[in-house]
Structure 1
Amino acid sequence: MAGNRGGGDAGESEWLKVAELRAMAESQEPHAKEVDNLTLRRFLRARDHNVEKASAMLVKAIRWRKEAVPGGSVPEEKVRRDLDDDKVYMGGADRTGRPILLAFPAKHFSAKRDMPQFKSYVVYLFDKICSRIPRGQEKFVCIVDLKGWGYSNCDIRAYIAAIEIMQNYYPERLGKALMIHVPYMFMKAWKLIYPFIDNVTRDKFVFVDDKSLQEVLHQEIDESQIPDTLGGKLEPVSLRNYERTLPA
């Protein structure tokens, strides 16, 4: 069963556990009735099919969302300052159809970060990328381009906050994170972040050296979907402008 964790079709035994999870979660939190079965399955897989642990995780997530996003979505105005920094872009899709998120940590500065606003921004961007996941897929891919990253960008608290939001409240949504153009000094920061990442999520972070970058990108993504900044043909869209590019 653990081999099913990463995605794919569920077997009958897994759906039976999903039903168990629903019954247990609804007995603790009435709003669990609003959660669809695929979401329940992601929480179940995130806790290695332990129904009790998955229920505790789901109930916590439901209550967190009611407090963190009382209106159901984060208003653009609330995260305008982070959006204006253009540190996240929407890309194309990988060869399996998973949408691509591009992150540029060198555009994030710890000195100007406001933690409550940053957390809202993280929720905003995860909601946006998850809304792009097509039917038949459940995950997205992230390319983290660390080119130009330095000490002024080092914000351990913010990085840990973002990872904890992702793994606790958006379980089994990240398919892979390609870490590229990684400066040596970033690895010192990574050693401080690493203990806060759960075992399942750790395996999804892939550090790519510069010599292998083009080979890895073309293995994962068709050239038409690779960002033009990385030698491909697609012009990514800033998260700040993403809503304006959607069809009416």
Structure 2
Amino acid sequence: MFRRWNNSHHEKDSDEQQEKVTELKAALGPLSGRGLQYCSDACLKRYLEARSWNVDKAKKMLEETLRWRSTYKPEEIRWHEVAVEGETGKVFRANFHDRHGRTVLILRPGKQNTTSIDNQIRHLVYLIENAILNLPEGQEQMAWLIDFTGWSITNNVPIKSAKDTVNVLQNHYPERLAVAFLYSPPRIFEAFWKIVKFFLDPKTFQKVKFVYPKNKDSVELMRSYFDVDNLPTEFGGKATLQYDHEEFSRQMAQDDVKAAKVWGFDKHPNGFTGAEVAPEPETLASPAS
């Protein structure tokens, strides 16, 4: 009896959500080009979820993203444009998923190798888009693993860079982050964190987890997300973490071809004009949204 009620209750929630999606779609008005391709029902749900299902707030947020995407053009970034940022493996897509099948990005701030914040953000945006491109069907979110090996106040991420990163993730990739594990951050990081956490909205803040090797509860929480055999030793697991820049570059070049097909760039080398309607994406991967 309870199960039957629970199912009908879930269906009711689903119906209500779909009504909100329809309402948001109507509020946005006619879309064309990449905007039409970007604003799938799943995308609209993410923006609604990020704004507690308030249609007006979700509409404002989504319109800001569409403006950002029209100028920043994240789907057009190609690996060769940002490859120099990735030479040390400071951010890269892992070759394993978490227990829920989510794509995993590994961030190693101690491996910072450049000084241009704009280029660093562009590199991260490329990899967020790539993580989304490589999500398995039915999965919408990614996980972040942040390794503080080699991190010190001398190679500290500038506050502006941290703020820009948070703004891009929260404002333009809502509900894409499932969890971010900060593994064994040094004590000096605490002062930095006290500033950064003010940039985080409550939902994002709840997704950030600190893990300390000597804290059994935090280690168990992390292992509830990851198979210890896949998890690199840097994160308390058993796997060897090796970043091969040449091999990763080959993977990204292949993914750039895949992204071009998803967005229709293989048919329209110069991209879409504002009036064009994007062709239906091929079923290689869900378009970044």
Percent sequence identity is 28
Q: Segments of 4+ in structure 1 off by > 6 A?
A: none
Quote the Cα distance in structure 2 between the aligned partners of 1:172 and 1:239. Answer: 29
Q: Please list the CA deviations of residues 173-211 of structure 1 after superposition, one character each: whole Å capped at 9, or x if unmatched.
A: 000001111101111011111111111100000111121
In 2, are the aligned partners of 1:26 and 1:33 still within 8 Å (CA)?
A: no
Closer/same/farther in 2, CA of residues 134 and 103 from structure 1, 3 Å limit:
same
TM-score, scaled relative to structure 1: 0.86
Aligned counterpart, 2:229:
224
Larger radius of gyration: 2
Q: CA deviation at 1:152?
A: 1.7
Q: 2:52 aligns with which of 27, 48, 51?
A: 48
Count of aligned residue pairs for this structure pair: 237
Q: Please list the CA deviations of residues 44-101 of structure 1 after superposition, one character each: whole Å capped at 9, or x if unmatched.
A: 100110101101111110110111117x321223212211131013221111111211
Q: CA deviation at 1:236?
A: 5.7
Quote the Cα distance in structure 2 between the aligned partners of 1:187 and 1:163. Answer: 17
TM-score, scaled relative to structure 2: 0.74
Letter in 2 for 1:114: S
Q: CA deviation at 1:33?
A: 2.9
Q: CA deviation at 1:113?
A: 1.7
Aligned counterpart, 2:185:
182
Letter in 2 for 1:226: L
Aligned counterpart, 2:63:
59
Q: Secondary structure at the match of 1:65?
A: helix
Q: Secondary structure at the match of 1:142?
A: strand
Q: 2:210 aligns with which of 195, 207, 212?
A: 207
In 2, are the aligned partners of 1:88 and 1:103 still within 8 Å (CA)?
A: yes
Quote the Cα distance in structure 2 between the aligned partners of 1:22 and 1:240. Answer: 43
Gapped regions of structure 1 (runs ≥ 5): 1-7
Q: Please list the CA deviations of residues 101-143 of structure 1 after superposition, one character each: whole Å capped at 9, or x if unmatched.
A: 111011126xx42122122112111111111211111111111
In 1, are the aligned partners of 2:105 and 2:144 still within 8 Å (CA)?
A: yes
In 1, are the aligned partners of 2:50 and 2:174 still within 8 Å (CA)?
A: yes
Q: Secondary structure at the match of 2:29?
A: helix
Aligned counterpart, 1:4:
none
Work out whether 1:137 is the aligned partner of 2:143: no
CA-based RMSD:
2.4
Q: Secondary structure at the match of 2:220?
A: helix
Matched ranges for 1:95-114 at <5 A: 95-108=99-112, 112-114=114-116
Quote the Cα distance in structure 2 between the aligned partners of 1:153 and 1:43. Answer: 34
Give the structure, 1 or 2, with the largest relative contact order (CA under 8 Å, sep 6 or more).
Answer: 2
Matched ranges for 1:71-150 at <5 A: 72-91=75-94, 92-108=96-112, 112-150=114-152
Matched ranges for 1:155-194 at <5 A: 155-194=158-197
Gapped regions of structure 2 (runs ≥ 5): 1-9, 256-289
Q: 1:233 aligns with which of 230, 236, 239?
A: 239
Quote the Cα distance in structure 2 between the aligned partners of 1:240 and 1:14. Answer: 45
